[in-house]
Amino acid sequence: GDSVTQTEGPVTLSEGTSLTVNCSYETKQYPTLFWYVQYPGEGPQLLFKVPKANEKGSNRGFEATYNKEATSFHLQKASVQESDSAVYYCALRGDSGYNKLTFGKGTVLLVSP
């Protein structure tokens, strides 16, 4: 079956520093890749998605490139803020039906002022 592996947290950073959260995946299908973010006390919400290989997705200063050859989708941000503290999930959806997502275990990001 499908699987997603991402950086184990927590990741602790100071404001203004750069972020990379690694994500690698395994699937026999042609996936769409997602990054979701979950703030404390809330449900996950979509950060962005990339349906095609070699394309980049971005939102709120975060970005990730769908690297089909390396089966990776690493999340990056040049300068984090305290408000970015959250749990980040990498996920994939195969090209079979039912819009079924497979999530990674999540990475906790803690940003100190």
Residues near another protein, by CB under 8 A: 1, 32, 41-46, 49, 89, 93, 97-106
Closest CB to another protein among residues 43, 113: 43
Tokens of 64: 């990730």
Measured from the CB of residue 80, what is the shortest distance to another protein in angstroms?
Answer: 21
**Residue 6 phi, psi (nearest 5):** -135, 165
The smaller minimum CB distance to another protein, of residues 49 and 68, is found at 49
Rounded to whole angstroms, the Cα distance separating 98 from 90 reads 19
Q: How many CA atoms, within 13 angstroms, populate the side-chain half-sphere of residue 65?
A: 4
- Minimum CB–partner distance for residue 41 and another protein (Å): 7
